[in-house]
Amino acid sequence: MSAEPQPRVETRTVATVSVLVVVVGLAAGIFVVDFGSATPEPVAFDETVSVGLTLEDEMRLEDDERFDARIELPRAQVFYSQYPYVVGYYGIDSFVAKQRQPSHEQRFGFPNTVYVTEYTDSGVELNDERLPVTEFAPGWVPADEAFYVVDSEARTTSGDAVVPFDTRTSAEAFADEYSGTVIDWADMLDRPIEIDGADTVRDRTEDQRRDANETVETRDSLLDRPVSVVVGEDEPTVRSAVEAAPPNTTVRVPAGTYRERLEIDTPVTLRADGDARIVGDGNGTVVTVTANRTALAGLDVSGVGDSTPGPTVTDGHAGSNVGGGGHNHGDAEGEDSWDAEIEDDYAQGDAAIEVSGAGNILVTDTHIDTDAAGIILYASPGAVVRNTTVVGSENYREGHMGVVAMRSPGVVEGSTFLGGLDGVYTHRSDGIVIRDNRMRGNRNGVHLMFTSGALVADNDIATEETAGIYVMTGPERNALLGNEIRDAETGISVGGTDSYVAGNVLAENDLGLRIEATASVVERNVIADNRDGVETWALLPTNRVTHNDFVDNERHVAVSSGRLRVWSHDGEGNYWEGAIGTTDGTVVERPYTPTDPVDGRLHRVDGAGTLAQAPALSALAGFQGVVPGMRADEVIDTAPRCAPVRAEWFERTGRTDIEPICRSSGDTPAETRHSETVRRPTDRPEYDDRTILRTTIERDSLG
* 62 lies in the same domain as 130: yes
* 335 lies in the same domain as 472: yes
Residues 540 and 5: their CA atoms lie apart, in Å, by 11
Is the residue at 615 inside a domain? yes
* 566 lies in the same domain as 500: no
Residue 505: which of 521, 488, 485 has the closest Cα? 485
Q: Are strands 111-118 and 532-536 parallel, antiparallel or unpaired?
A: unpaired
**What is residue 200's predicted lDDT score, i.e. its pLDDT?**
84
**What is residue 322's predicted lDDT score, i.e. its pLDDT?**
27
* 449 lies in the same domain as 537: no
Q: Examine the fold and report which residue of 523, 552, 574 is the final residue of a domain before the chain moves on.
A: 523
Residues 40 and 116: their CA atoms lie apart, in Å, by 14
Residues 579 and 575: their CA atoms lie apart, in Å, by 8
**What is residue 673's predicted lDDT score, i.e. its pLDDT?**
43
Host domain of residue 48: 9-195
- Exposure string (b/e) for 511-531, b if CB count within 10 Å is 16 or more? bbbbbbbbbbbbbbbbbbbbb
Is the residue at 344 inside a domain? yes
What residues of the chain score a pLDDT lower than 50?
1-2, 8-36, 65-68, 317-336, 608-612, 623, 625-630, 665-703
**What is residue 605's predicted lDDT score, i.e. its pLDDT?**
74
- DSSP label at 637? B
**What is residue 2's predicted lDDT score, i.e. its pLDDT?**
45
Domain CATH number, residue 506: 2.160.20.10
Helices 615-626 + 689-701 axis angle, to 10: 80
Q: How many helices (H) and strands (E) does the chain have?
A: 14, 48
* 583 lies in the same domain as 703: yes
Amino acid making up residue 149: V
* 561 lies in the same domain as 696: yes
Q: Examine the fold and report which residue of 523, 552, 582 is the final residue of a domain before the chain moves on.
A: 523
Contacts of 297 (CB under 8 A, 6+ apart): 223, 269, 270, 271, 272, 362, 363, 364, 365, 366
Is the residue at 254 inside a domain? no
Residues 89 and 98: their CA atoms lie apart, in Å, by 10
Q: Examine the fold and report which residue of 171, 195, 219 is the final residue of a domain before the chain moves on.
A: 195
* 447 lies in the same domain as 562: no
| pLDDT tens digit sequence for 370-413 | 999 999 999 999 999 999 999 999 888 888 999 999 999 999 99
Is the residue at 222 inside a domain? no
| pLDDT tens digit sequence for 232-271 | 999 999 999 999 999 999 999 999 999 999 999 999 999 9
Is the residue at 257 inside a domain? no
Residues 554 and 567: their CA atoms lie apart, in Å, by 19
* 490 lies in the same domain as 576: no
Indicate the number of domains in the chain: 3
* 562 lies in the same domain as 496: no
* 545 lies in the same domain as 513: no
* 293 lies in the same domain as 145: no
Residue 84: which of 107, 100, 104, 114 has the closest Cα? 107
Is the residue at 1 inside a domain? no
* 494 lies in the same domain as 556: no
- Exposure string (b/e) for 241-261, b if CB count within 10 Å is 16 or more? bbbebeeebbbbbeeeebeeb
**What is residue 309's predicted lDDT score, i.e. its pLDDT?**
80
**What is residue 487's predicted lDDT score, i.e. its pLDDT?**
96
**What is residue 629's predicted lDDT score, i.e. its pLDDT?**
43
Q: Are strands 132-134 and 70-71 parallel, antiparallel or unpaired?
A: antiparallel
**What is residue 617's predicted lDDT score, i.e. its pLDDT?**
52
Is the residue at 125 inside a domain? yes
Is the residue at 3 inside a domain? no
Q: How far is CA 406 from CA 338, 410, 417, 450, 585, in A?
A: 15, 11, 18, 10, 51
Listed in order, strand segments (DSSP E) in 510-564 are: 511-515, 521-523, 526-528, 532-536, 544-546, 549-551, 555-559
Residues 187 and 521: their CA atoms lie apart, in Å, by 30
What element of type H or E holds 611?
helix 608-612
CB-count exposure of residue 9 (10 Å: 0-12, 13-18, 19+): exposed
Contacts of 22 (CB under 8 A, 6+ apart): 31, 32, 33, 627
- Give CA angle at 454 (453, 460), nearest 5°: 155
Residue 288: which of 340, 324, 242 has the closest Cα? 242
Amino acid making up residue 110: F
